[in-house]
A and B are shown apart, each in its own frame.
Chain A
Amino acid sequence: MNAKGLLRLIAIAVILMPLGGCWNSRELNELAVVSGIGMDLVPETDEYRVTFQLVNPTSTATSASPGSGKPGVVVVSATDKTMFGALRRASKHVTRQLFFAHTQLIVLGESLARSGINDVFDIFERSHELRLNSAILVARGSDAASVMKLLTAVESLPALGLVKKTQNTSRVWGENRTISVFDVIKGITGEGDLTINAVKINGDAEEGKKNSNLEQSETPTKTMMNGLGVFRQGKLLYWMKDSEARGTEWLLDKIEETVINIDSEYKKESIAVNVIYSRTEVRTSMEGGLPVFHVTIAEEGSVNETDSFVDLGNREEILKLERELEKQTRDEVMQAFQKAQELESDIFNFGNELKRKNPQVWATLDKDWGRLFAQGRLDLHIKGYIRSTGMSLKPYIPEGK
C-alpha cells in the first residue's frame, strides 16, 4: 500500500469516529428511568422537595405481576431551591443518572399548590428531556411524596397507573379531564385561571408504600381521583367536587361521556342517561360594562337504565326526558359557574375568549378581570337530545311504580 492509500485510510478512520455519534452516549443500563415526579414545598422555607419515582428494571419485566416480589418502582427525594438542582442532587441516592424523557406524571403537593405554582414549570419548557405533555395532578390533603410512594394494584408503575386512572375517568365520568403541563402553562400565561385534577389518598399512606398492601383483594390504601383543584393567580383556593367539577368540564367543552340521573314521574333520579356527545360553544359580549357569556351546550345521550316506569316508546315521553336532561345539566353548570364567581376565578377561559375576539375592550378590563368576571352574567342555552333507549323500549316495571 502506498502512502496516499494509507493517508486515505487514516482519514476515513478519523471521520468514522465522530460519525458513530457516541460523543455523549448514554446507555440504557446507565440510566434510571423516571416515571413520575412529585413536587412539594419544604415547610417554612422556599425549597422544593422533589420526589422521583424510578422504574425498577428487574421487577417490571412482563412476567412479574404487581404484588409479587420486589416493587416495580424505587422512590428517592432530594431538596433544593430549584427543580434542576434537586434532580441533580438526587444523584447522591441513585446509582444511575436520572433520565426524564419518559416522565408520565407530575404531582404537586397541597402545600406547594396553596403557596403558588406559577414558578415551577419553566424547566418543562426548557429541558429537552422533560416533556410538556406529562400529565399533572395535585394531591389533596397530602404531600406529593406520599402519592409517589404509593403502590398500585393492576399497574406495576404507579405513576402510569394514575395517568391511566385520570384518562379513564375523564373518558366516561367527566369530572376530570386530561390536563398536561402544557395546559397548565397555557393557563398561567393566559388571561384566566386554571384547574388541575385532584388525587386523594384513601387509607394510611405509610401502609401504601408496602408490597403487602397489594396482597389483598381490596387494597387498604389506594389513590382516588377527587375532582378539581381551583387555582387563582397560581394559588390553590378550593376543591371542586361532583357536580361542580362536572359543570366546569361542561363549560370547558371537555365532556366526552358522562352519566346523568334524571327524575321520572314516579321516582327521583331514577333514569340513567349516558351522555355520549357534548359540544359547548362560548361567545362573549359586554353589556353596560359587565361581561355576558353566551354559552350553548348541545348534548346527546341514550337511556341506559330506568328504575321506574316510563314509556320510552312514546315520543312525548322522550321529549319530556330531554327537557329533564337539560334541566339537570343546567343545574350542574350553574353550580360550577356560581362557585367560580364566588371565588373570582375565571377557570372557564372566558377572559381568553373575550381578549381574542375583542382585544381593544380587553385592554380596559385586564386589570380588574377577576372582579368583573364575578359580576358577569351567564346566558346559558342547552339542547339535550336522547337518541336511543338501548335494547328495550318499555321497562318491565308496571306503570305507576
Chain B
Amino acid sequence: MRKEVVGPSQLLAMIILFELGTAVLVPIGLESGHAVWLSVLFALPGGVLLYLVFAHLYLQFPGQIISGYTRTILGPWLGWPVSLLFLPVLLYNGSRNLREAGDLLITASYDKTPILIINSIMIIAVMYILNKGIEVFARTAEIFLWIVIIMGCICILAVIAAGLVEYKNLFPLHMSDYVEALDSAYPSIWIFPFGELVCFTTILPQFSRSRKVKKTGMVAVIISGCLLSFTHAIEMAVLGENLYSRTTFPMFTTITLVNVANFVQRLDALVMLTLIIGVFFKLTVYCYAAVAVASDLFKVTDTRRLVIPAGVVMLFSSFVSAQNYSEHMNDGKAFLETILPVFCAVIPILLLLIHLVRRRFGLYR
C-alpha cells in the first residue's frame, strides 16, 4: 500500500480548522474580561513555540509518532506507559468537542432530539472519513477551509454592517487588564486551543515536505491565532463584557442580533455550519491521533480496524462523562488546569530536553 502523504497547504488548512474548531464558539479565557482578544495574542507566541517543539521532535525522529519517540527517548520501560497515558487524554478531549457541538445543536434548535442521535451522526461521519484515510481527510480540509473562511467573512461583514460593533467595549485597557490578560493567556489559552496541537505529532510523519514543516505550521498557528483573537474581539465588542461572560455560546448570541435593513437576519445557520465543520475536523484529528497511538503501541498493522472502537468510545464518553452542561464545563476547567498541560506541554518539552541531553552526552546506544 502506498504511503499516505499530506501536503503543506493541506497541513495549513488542517491546523487552522483544528484551532478554530470549538475555540471560536465557547468563551475562552474568562478571567481576562474585555481583554480576551489580547489574551489570545499573548498566548500566540507560546503556541508557536510549542508547535516548534513538536516540529523539532518530528524532525529528529522522522517517521515516528509521539508514542514512538517517547519510547526511544525514555526507553521502552518508561516510554510505553507514558505513551499509553496519551490514549485516554486524546479520547476524552476529543469527546469533549463532540459534547459541545451536540449541546449547542440541542440548545439552539433540536431541543427534543436525544444527544445520542446527534452525536452519533457526527461520529459516523468521522469514522467514515478516517476509514478513507488521512490523505482524504487532508484534502477535505483544504476545501472546507475556504468554505469556513467565506462563511466567516459573511458573518463578520453582516455584524459590522448591522452596526453592532461598539469599540467602547474593547477599550481602554488599564494595567490591571494587561495583567489579567496575561494571567488567562498562560496557561489556559496557551493550552486550549494552542496546546492541543500535540495531536499533530501523529500527523506530521505523513507530511510530504519535511523541510517546510516549521514554516507551514508556524504560519498556520499565527493565522489561526489572529482569526481567533479577531472573532472574540468582535463578539466582545457586540455583546459587552457582561453578556459575553454569561452566554454559553457567545458567537451564536452575537449572530442572532444581526439585522441589516430587515433583510439580512437570522444567520444562525451559518454559525451552526461553522461549528459542525470545525468540530468535525477537530474530532477527526483527535480520533486519528488516538488510533495512531493505539496502533503504534499495540502493534496493530491495519490502523483502520481501530477507528470504529475509538469512535464508539468517544461517542459514549461524550455524553456519559457529564450529566449536564455545567458539569461538563467544570470538568473541562479542571481538566484544562491539571491534566491537559502535562500532556500538551510538559511531556513534549521534557522529551525534547531529555533527547537533547542524551544526544549531547552520547547516551543513545
Contacts and interface: CB of A to CB of B under 8 A. Distances in A.
Interface of A: 15, 18-19, 23-24, 101, 125, 128, 131-133, 182, 185-186, 189-190, 356-357, 359
Given A133-B259, A182-B257, A128 B172 contact: no
A131 B257 CA distance: 8
Contact of A23 (B112, B168, B174): B112
Nearest to B242: A189
A287 B256 CA distance: 42
B111 interface: yes
Contacts of B172: 356-357
A125 B247 contact: yes
Nearest to A17: B117
10 contacts: A18-B120, A23-B113, A125-B243, A128-B107, A132-B253, A133-B259, A185-B243, A356-B168, A356-B172, A359-B174
Given A23-B112, A24-B112, A125 B117 contact: no
A128 B176 contact: no
Given A24-B112, A133-B256, A133-B259, 8 more contacts: A18-B121, A19-B121, A23-B110, A128-B109, A128-B111, A132-B257, A359-B174, A359-B176
Interface string B31-51: 000000000000000000000
Contacts of B242: 186, 189-190
A347 to B, nearest CB: 17
Contacts of A190: 242
B75 to A, nearest CB: 46
B342 interface: no
Interface string B249-289: 00001001101000000100000000000000000000000
B260 to A, nearest CB: 12
Contacts of A133: 256-257, 259
A15 B113 contact: no
B240 interface: yes
A356 B166 CA distance: 13
Contacts of B120: 18
Contacts of A131: 256
Given A125-B247, A189-B242, A15 B174 contact: no
B157 interface: no
B124 interface: yes
Interface in B62-103: none
A18 B110 CA distance: 12
Nearest to A23: B113
Contacts of B246: 125
Contacts of A185: 243
Contacts of A356: 168, 172
A374 B55 CA distance: 62
B257 A18 contact: no
Interface string B147-169: 00000000000000000000010
B136 interface: no
Given A24-B111, A128-B107, A133-B256, A18 B117 contact: yes
A99 B331 CA distance: 35
A133 B242 CA distance: 17
B247 to A, nearest CB: 7
A357 B240 CA distance: 15
A15 B110 CA distance: 18
Contacts of B257: 132-133, 182
Q: Which 3 A-B pairs have the closest CB atoms?
A: A24-B112, A23-B113, A189-B242
A40 B344 CA distance: 55
A181 to B, nearest CB: 10
B108 interface: yes
B243 A189 contact: yes
A357 B177 CA distance: 12
Given A24-B111, A359-B174, A132 B117 contact: no
A394 B329 CA distance: 71
A133 B124 CA distance: 37
A23 B102 CA distance: 14
Contacts of B109: 128
A132 B256 contact: yes
A24 B113 contact: yes
A319 B242 CA distance: 46
A323 to B, nearest CB: 32
B23 to A, nearest CB: 22
B127 to A, nearest CB: 12
A19 B118 CA distance: 9
Contacts of A18: 117, 120-121
Nearest to B248: A126
Contacts of B240: 186
A189 B247 CA distance: 14
Nearest to A132: B257
A18 B242 CA distance: 38
Nearest to B114: A23
Interface string B105-141: 0011111110001001100100000000000000000
A180 B107 CA distance: 23
Contacts of A24: 110-113
A230 to B, nearest CB: 22
A132 B256 CA distance: 8
Contacts of B110: 23-24
A226 B117 CA distance: 52
Given A23-B117, A24-B113, A128-B108, A15 B259 contact: no
Interface string B167-181: 010001010100000
B251 to A, nearest CB: 14
A63 B46 CA distance: 64
B330 to A, nearest CB: 20
B263 to A, nearest CB: 14
A74 B242 CA distance: 37
Interface in B207-222: none
A185 B240 CA distance: 11
A185 B113 CA distance: 31
